[in-house]
Structure 1
Amino acid sequence: MKMNGRLLASSLTLFLVFFSNMVFAAASEAYKLGTGDRVKVMVYGQEDLTTEAEVAGDGTITMPLVGRVEIRGMSPQDAGDLIGRQLEQRGYLKRAHVNLLIEQYRSNTVSILGQVNHPGRIALEGPTSLTEALALAGGINDTGSERIILVNIDDEGRQSRKEFNLRELLDSSAEGRSPVTLGKGDTVYIPRADQFYVYGQVQKPGTYALDRPLNVMQALSVSGGFNPSASSSGLIIYRQQPDGEVEELEARFEDRIEDGDVLFVKESLF
Structure 2
Amino acid sequence: MMFDASGSKRLRQVFFQAVLIFAAPLAAQQLEYVIERDDLVSVTFWQQPSLNTQSRVGEDGTIDLPIVGRVNAAGNTPAKLELEVVRQYSFYNAKVTQARVAVLEFGSKKVYINGQISRPGKYTFATMPTIWQVILEAGGPLETANLSQITVVRGSGQDAGKVLTVDLAEALNRNSVNELSRLTPGDIIYIPTTGTVIAGRTPLQQSALVYVYGEVAHPGAFQYEAGTNIVQAVINAGGPNPNADLKHVRLISTDSLYTQVAEVDLQIFNDAPSVPPLLLHAGDTIYLPKRRSFLQALGGMFTETYRIVLTTVASVVVFDLARQ
TM-score by length of 2: 0.40
More helix by share: 2
More strand by share: 1
TM-score by length of 1: 0.46
Q: Which has the larger radius of gyration?
A: 1
